[in-house]
Amino acid sequence: DLHSFPIRRSSDLGLGVTIAWDVTGGSSFAVIGSIIDGDKTEAKANTAKTSLLSDVWDTFSKTAINPGEFKFSIAYDPHFSEYQALAAELAHMNATAPNWQISFPDAGTGNGSGAKTETFLGHVVSLSREVKKNDFLVCDVGVQITGNAGLAIS
């Protein structure tokens, strides 16, 4: 898979954080091993204006939550099976959303909380390739989360 690229393949992001997916939407997760970087997810509640014309100040009520998009970067090689699977998912219309899993190791807080896992459904909605001089190729992956954003609440 690696040909002659000077790539250090790793499934770890940061302090042992991993990203895995099940393309069928199930729970048989495969860790994506060519991760280079991850980005934030931003779930955000929408609001609806509830003020009346006679009100001096606008008032709002919180409505449905937009679960946002999750972006991450992988080492790009068109021959990598991981890239091929992500590209196939991008091209697959009206498909069941893959199930994604982000696993965080025990942070060593001493409170016995252990590792945390966040899961969510999301469609691959973007792939982009970046070519850098004197560096390896990178592919940015965008996942539009659908439904519950899977944020760990406790």
For the chain, residues with pLDDT lower than 70 are: 1-15, 107-114, 152-154
Considering Cα of 114, then 107, then 11, then 73, what sign does the dihedral take?
Answer: positive
First to last CA, the chain: 39
For 83-114, write each residue's pLDDT tens digit: 899 999 999 999 999 999 988 877 665 555 66
Residue 79: the pLDDT is: 86
CA angle 124, 84, 13 (to 5 degrees): 65
Residue 154: the pLDDT is: 46
pTM for this prediction: 0.78
Residue 50: the pLDDT is: 96
Q: How far apart are CA 122 and CA 147, in angstroms?
A: 8
Task: Find tokens 């940015």 and name the residue.
Answer: 140
Residue 9: the pLDDT is: 43
